[in-house]
Structure formats: structure tokens, C-alpha cells
Amino acid sequence: MKKHPLGLYVLFATEMWERFSFYSMVAMFTLYLRDDSGEGFGWTAAEATSLYSNYLMFVFASPLIGGWLADKKLGYRSTVLWGGLFFMVGHLLLAFQSLTAVYSALVCLVIGNGLFKPNVSTMVGNLYPESSPFKDAAYNIFYLGINVGSFLAPIAMELIRSRWGFHPAFAVAALGMVFSIATLWRFRQLVDRSPQAKEKEAETQVPMTAMDAVPEKERIRALLIIYAVTIVFWMAFQQNGSTLTYWADNNTAWEVSGIVSNSINPFWILVFTFPLIAFWRFLRKRDLEPSTPGKMVIGMFLTAISFLVLFLAAKSGESTVSAPLDFGYQVSPFWLLGSYAIVTLAELMISPMGLSLVSKVAPVRYRGLMMGAWFFAGAIGNKLTMIGVYWTEWRHSSFFAILGCLAFVAGLILWGLLNSLKKSIPGI
């Protein structure tokens, strides 16, 4: 802990509250659209999934513009603060029952995410010298903050929604953003590296590293290849807010709604993060630690395995009903818990490692933009979550099998490219 600047923990808390707000909305949104009790709009699963996938696409595409604005115009901290304000307005709008309010809220949330998300992530890397060996661990700690918020959000939303309804729950999500931007503003001096620190770094840092010797175009090309492969991961992983929520709501034998299932993934993040950091440190001391792209290959294969678990669960449930498209079965929640445990390990080898990779590989003058491009790859994957429109047209086992196979093929492609990537991003 002493090896990391206090600014890391300021950004940890800032992101924790922002993710609390974000995942409060995500946990409820599709169920809110489908609600026919008078609070929601009585949409079909296909209609709700379609809007959800389009929303996620724009949410993850907007950081491309937000990163550019921070690089060229506004600076990182100011851009993050503006993003927080847009987030707050968006969540407040969802507290009103109106389709106009819903679409206006989504616009504000997209703008807010574009300004906030890439730049708070870039600020983490900027706390450290370019050659610092602590960046990977810093992003793992930062990612833990993301998932503290993600874990608490669905639990809080389930309690509030069940007692007072959807709209007060959306208002509480807005309160999370108040805490987020208040934290960053109050401790802003801790997240800006002083000119004296930068000058000292310039005096002591090695003049030329292996990465510095690689042309900028080569480094950007390598990042774009990795971005392209991870699109499949995001398509599979982001099913948690739509089809996996439906499955948890309708096909899992427990006494809570599907909203709570959105806490399973961040729970496993809290369990696995520090043991995984210790495991990588153990391997590093023995010169056995995989490269960052190598960890991502493992992550893609684990994603495939997690959907194999869901395939087996759906198969066992489908065997208890007579019609091919009879979705009235229920299975043990342990299938869902186990699948989430595996895909969470995959996430830890892909998402925080991707953030760290951008911070280490992207040319300094394009860092915000390239961080935005990382999220833009997620945007494409999130748009592809629209495969969920077939949730009620295919057998659930077939749906899970297709996602698992796609993840496996993507992992094979990245594995085949590892040697060429090592030449473009040496020592990473």
C-alpha cells in the first residue's frame, strides 16, 4: 500500500461511487422497461434488450470523444468532473415515469460516461512514472474500487425497489454521483502530480526503454489488434444486464429477483483480486508470469468455459420440460454462481489488464484517445449483446453454446498472434 500514491485511493473512491450509480441503473433497466405493474412500460424482452444493447454501445463508444477532449482541450480532471454532472442529471431523469425522460436520461448518461470513464482511468496511470513496475497492481486496486460499487448497487436497488419502487431507486443512483464528484473535487490536489515530481522523474528515468524504441504506429497497431479480439469478450460478458438477468429472474430457483444476480460478478471480484495479484507476483519472482496479452488469452478461454457451465445448466433444465421452447424450467443457483466465478477470473485477466496495457503502450500524446478506443471496442461488443433478442427464439442451451464457442475462437486467434505482438510491445 505504501508504494502507491494517495491519489490512487482518491480515484478508487471516485470510480467506486460512479460505478455504484452506473450498475444501479444497469441492474434495473431492462426489468423496468418490461415491468407491467404501472411503473414501467410493459415492453417485451426483445424490445428491452434492443434498447439496452444500443445504450451500452453508445456508452462505450462515447469515451473515444471524451478521451480526445481531455487530451486536447479540457484536461483530465475537469473532463471527469463535467462527466459526473451529466451522470447525475441522467440518473435523476430516470426517477420520472416518462419515455421522454428515459431517452433524455440515456443521452445524459452516454455523454457523462464519455467524459468520465476514459479519463479517470488515464489519471490512474498518470500518477506513476512511465517505467513504474506498479501500474498493473495499481489498476487491479482501482478495478477493485469499480467492483465495490458494482457489488453494492444491485443489493441496494433490490431493497429500495422492493419497498418504494423503481423511481426512488433511480434517484438513489443519482446520489452516488454526488459522492463521486464531491470526493474528486475535495481531494483534487492528490490526483495531480506536481511539476517537481515530473521534473525529478525526468532526471532519474532511463532515457530510452525498449518500448520507446518501437514506432508509435506499431504500438497503436498492436493495441488495435487486442481491442478487436476483446470485442467478443464484451459481447459475452455484458449479457449480465439482459439475458443473464432474465435467466436469474425466471430460471433460477431462489426467492429474489434477477436484480440481485448483478452483484454476483463484483462479489467474485472482491474475493479474487488480491489472491490473483499475489499469484502473479509469485510467478513473476520465478520468471513465469505470462505477458499481459498472454493473460488475456487465458481470460478468453475462461470466458468460453463459463458459458459451457451455463450450457450444461440450461441443458439440465430443458430436460425437465416437454416442448423445445418451453422456458418454464428452473435450476439451482449454484450453476449461475459457478459460471460467474469463472467469467470473473476471465474479466480480471482482460479488463484491468487492458487499462494497464493502454497506459504502458499508448504514446503519451494519444493516451486519452487510446483509452477511449479501448472502451470503443467494448461499445462494439456491447452492441453485439443484441444477440439477446433471440433469447426467447432459441433454446437457452444453444444461446449459451454459441457465445462460448465465439469466446473460444477469439482466444485461439489472440494466442496465434502472441509472438508478433511481443515484437510491437516488448517487455509487456
150, three cell numbers: 458494482
What mean pLDDT is predicted for residues 86-112? 94
pLDDT at 236: 94
Residue 137 has pLDDT above 90, yes or no: no
| 294-297, Cβ contacts within 8 angstroms, sequence gap of 24 or more | 294/418, 295/349, 295/350, 295/353, 296/226, 296/229, 296/230, 296/349, 296/350, 296/353, 296/354, 296/414, 297/411, 297/414, 297/415, 297/418
Decide if 204 is inside a domain.
no
Residue type, position 36, single letter: D
Decide if 102 is inside a domain.
yes
110, three cell numbers: 452516454
- What DSSP assignment string belongs to 340-409? HHHHHHHHHHHHHHHHHHHHHHS-GGGHHHHHHHHHHHHHHHHHGGGGGGGTTTS-HHHHHHHHHHHHHH
Q: What DSSP designation does 260 have?
A: G
Residue 87 has pLDDT above 90, yes or no: yes
Q: What is the pLDDT of residues 183-192, one digit of tens each?
A: 999 998 898 7
Q: What is the pLDDT of residues 310-335, one digit of tens each?
A: 999 999 999 988 887 888 899 999 99
Decide if 198 is inside a domain.
no
Decide if 419 is inside a domain.
yes
Decide if 203 is inside a domain.
no
Classify residue 427 as left (phi > 0), alpha (psi -120 to 50) or beta.
Answer: left
Residue 343 has pLDDT above 50, yes or no: yes
160 band by pLDDT with thresholds 50, 70 and 90: very high
Phi and psi at residue 187, in whole multiples of 5°? -115, 30
The answer to whether residues 93 and 64 touch, using CB atoms and an 8 Å cutoff, is no
Q: State how many domains the chain has.
A: 1
Show the domain range for 17: 7-192+209-424
CA atoms within 13 A on the CB side of 356: 25
177 band by pLDDT with thresholds 50, 70 and 90: very high
Q: What is the pLDDT of residues 12-43, one digit of tens each?
A: 999 999 999 988 988 889 889 999 888 889 99
CATH number of residue 420's parent domain: 1.20.1250.20
Decide if 200 is inside a domain.
no
Residue 182 has pLDDT above 80, yes or no: yes
Decide if 37 is inside a domain.
yes
pLDDT at 193: 60
Decide if 1 is inside a domain.
no
Q: Write down the pTM of the prediction.
A: 0.79
